[in-house]
Structure 1
Amino acid sequence: MNAMRITGIVLIVLGLVGFFTGGFSFTKESSKAKVGPIELVVQEKETVNFPQWLSIGAVVLGAVVLVMGSRKS
């Protein structure tokens, strides 16, 4: 399997994962106040969204790269 076919498959898989999950979230801790031995820590939930047009574009681009990679073989 050549590099173009692998790249095409990876783009398709990443595009599908981004399309079906829609994004991911994570928790960020930050220290807001510290008075002597007492520390106030706040946990904030951050969300990163993947635009659907970007996911669909990755799938289409992956399909094009996959077809072009298999034509040269």
Structure 2
Amino acid sequence: MNKLIGIVLIVVGAIMIIWTGFTYTKREKVVDAGPIQISADRQKTVNWPPYLGGILLVGGIVIVATSKKSI
């Protein structure tokens, strides 16, 4: 089980180093005055620091290296 968690952390860490964030579009109401409603599409960005991916990558490597071999 520890080896699987370590591998998942390695993969997630590598992805977080390569892609440092993503952007998505959200529809928001701009005006809501009774029967009149105006909406606009707004882009939202989610970013994370690349060193967080490095920490996950190193943690995953340590977990895989220290896990016991299964029979």
Q: Hey, which of these two has a bigger chunk of helix by percent?
A: 1
Deviations 1:12-43 (A, max 9, x none): 00001111011111111111113454421011
Q: Which residue of structure 1 aligns with residue 20 of structure 2?
A: 22
Structure 1: which amino acid aligns with 2:24?
A: F
Q: Which residue of structure 2 aligns with residue 40 of structure 1?
A: 38
Question: TM-score, normalising length from structure 1?
Answer: 0.85
Q: Please, which runs of 5 or more residues in structure 2 have no aligned partner? A: none
Q: Is the 8 A contact 1:19 1:50 kept in 2?
A: no
Percent identical residues: 33
Q: Please, which runs of 5 or more residues in structure 1 have no aligned partner? A: none
Partner of residue 54 from structure 2, selected from 53, 56, 62: 56
Structure 1: which amino acid aligns with 2:31?
A: A
Question: TM-score, normalising length from structure 2?
Answer: 0.87
